[in-house]
Amino acid sequence: MDLASLGGNILGTIPLGDIVLYVTPFHLFMFVVVLIFTALIAISRTETQVEGSFGTLKDHKVSVGLSEFKSRRFLAIICGLATAGAMITGDLFNFTLFIALIGIVNVGIVSAVKQIDVLDAAYQYGIIAMICSLPLFGGASIILASTGTLSLFELASMATATPMMIFGSLLLLMGVAGETGIAPFFATKAEMFRTPGSPFILIIHLSSLFVIIRTIEILLIIIKII
């Protein structure tokens, strides 16, 4: 398969032995956008969330405390960097590692919050993410076992996909679905966004959507139905 038919013309490659990093306009766009958002997170304050109170006409304000702010900002930046890594990597195993890291820090970003509903949602998401790490790494392992490489550049140059490669791809897809909390797992993740700290919850959403898009590209490289 011609990689240029997916993400546009290859702008450059960085050969690191078997692993060849390659950059197309698609990867470059995603990488730069993630870095811009990560920089924004690093310099932004958090909003003060105004909420109505039951049984009274008064509002109450929920804001992020200083120590909570510092820990959440640190984890959000780590998440941003992990997402940037997942966008640019040319190695399937690195990709799964970045996704696992994203799953862990996503739970961490909201675990410092002192709201029971939000913590419940983070706990449920954490369980799903942990369970899905098995098919995630299992899928990558099966692809390695059936092809002898995890380099996407090498995988793209293979003529056909064997049934084991397709099975590994499906496992990988299941793993990504759970780790990123997309449908049918999105309900718990949406509840996590009820907490204040807009810049931090942005990176949770951004990492999920970008990883899904990159996964589509990777699956198309591996499956080669054409």
Partner 1 sequence: MNLMANIIINVVIAFLVGSLLLGFHRKVMARIQLRPGPPIIQHFLHSLKFFFKETSFPKTAAMPFYVAIACMYCAIWITAVIVGPISYGSLLLIFAIYAVYKIVEHNAGSSSGSPYGKMSCVRAVFSAAAEIPLFAVLVIIFFQTGTMNLGEIVAYQSANGPLIFSIPLAALMFFILLVSKSPYSPFSITKGKDIISGYETEHFGVLRGYMMLSESISWYILLWVFLTVFIGPLSLLGYLIGMVVITALIAIINTITPILNPNHSVMSQVSIAIIGIGGSLLIMLIV
Q: Interface mask (CB under 8 A) for partner 1, residues 60-79, using x and -? A: -x------------------
Q: How far is the CB of 86 from partner 1 (least distance, A)?
A: 13
Q: How far is the CB of 177 from partner 1 (least distance, A)?
A: 11
Residues 169-198 contacting partner 1, CB under 8 A: 182-183, 186, 189-191, 193-194, 196, 198
DSSP annotation of 151: B
* Residue 4 CA: distances (Å) to CA of 7, 11, 22, 28, 219: 6, 10, 11, 13, 15
By the rule CB under 8 A, 116 interacts with partner 1: no
Choice between 13 and 48, CB closer to partner 1: 48
Phi, psi of 110 (to 5 degrees): -100, -10
Choice between 161 and 206, CB closer to partner 1: 206
By the rule CB under 8 A, 201 interacts with partner 1: yes
By the rule CB under 8 A, 52 interacts with partner 1: yes
Choice between 87 and 137, CB closer to partner 1: 87
Tokens 């059936």 — which residue? 146
H helices of the chain, in order, are 4-7, 25-43, 66-88, 92-111, 116-147, 152-157, 163-180, 186-192, 198-223
Q: How far is the CB of 109 from partner 1 (least distance, A)?
A: 14
Give the integer Cα–Cα distance in Å for 172 and 145: 14
Choice between 141 and 193, CB closer to partner 1: 193
Cis peptide before 184 (omega within 30 of 0): yes
From candidates 43, 57, 66, 116, binder to partner 1 by CB under 8 A: 43
From candidates 24, 83, 96, 133, binder to partner 1 by CB under 8 A: 24
* Residue 70 CA: distances (Å) to CA of 43, 100, 119, 170: 12, 22, 18, 38
Give the integer Cα–Cα distance in Å for 100 and 107: 11
Helices 66-88 & 92-111, crossing angle to 10 degrees? 160
By CB under 8 A, name the binding residues for partner 1: 4-8, 24-26, 29-30, 33, 36-37, 40-41, 43-52, 61, 182-183, 186, 189-191, 193-194, 196, 198-199, 201-202, 205-206, 209-210, 212-213, 216-217, 220, 225-226
